[in-house]
Amino acid sequence: MPKQGLFVTLEGGEGVGKSTLAANLKARAGTAGFTVYLTREPGGTPAAEHIRDVVLRVPDTDPLSPASQALLMNAARADHFEKVITPALQRGELVICDRFADSTRVYQGVGGGMSSEDISALERISFDSKHPALTLILDAAPATLLERRQSRDGATAPDAFEARDLAFHERVRTGFLDIAEQEPNRCIVLDALMPAESLADAAWQLILDRAGSGT
């Protein structure tokens, strides 16, 4: 592990299996003797978890604008980055974060129409534009993922983002794939429909390679 730690993020649309992958990566990191800090966004600190509740639970009848969402996501991110992510990296840990700034670029930018200049300004304020060393983007067709989520979660009520139409989720998918194309050194796309263990093996190997390269 590089002495400055390693910051890895997991990204993708709804129901791609980031949480399962995160848990499987944590297990592999533990077996390999790495100190791993698993966290998520929006969330990761008490204040950021409160913000998560607010932003995901607004009533459908009175939705937040993309700008309000982005401000709240970045308020949560600033607290999380300062109090949790930075100290863990300074301790030389492997930090795995379930969603980070690419989600704002895609959901509030591509999906919500915010300009990339405005989002870049928020990135400078909330985490000094210190992007992760490695971002694993889990990808699959939104319609297939929706079927998988419905068969798995049954009647669970969708949150403010899950409830959006298929066209929105298609834009989200394209948004993540575009980021991967623009930043091939940082981002790697993985097939979200792979069996969970194979996906975790592939992802863990990519993390090991990145840790070995000293970035």
Report the interface residues with ligand TMP, using CB under 6 A.
14, 40-42, 56, 69, 73, 99, 103-104, 107-108, 161
Which CB atom, from 93 or from 123, has the smaller least distance to ligand TMP? 123
- Contact between 123 and 70 under an 8 Å Cβ cutoff? The reply is no
Shortest Cβ 106–ligand TMP spacing (Å) = 8
Shortest Cβ 98–ligand TMP spacing (Å) = 6
Find tokens 């575009």 and name the residue: 178
**Percent of residues in the chain assigned helix, strand, coil, to nearest 5:** 55, 15, 30
Shortest Cβ 40–ligand TMP spacing (Å) = 6
Which CB atom, from 1 or from 72, has the smaller least distance to ligand TMP? 72
Which CB atom, from 34 or from 102, has the smaller least distance to ligand TMP? 102
CA 70 vs. chain centroid, Å, equals: 14
Shortest Cβ 170–ligand TMP spacing (Å) = 15
Which CB atom, from 1 or from 66, has the smaller least distance to ligand TMP? 66
Whether omega before 195 lies within 30 degrees of 0, making that bond cis, reads no
- The strands making up 6-12's β-sheet, listed across from edge to edge, are 36-40, 94-98, 6-12, 134-139, 187-191
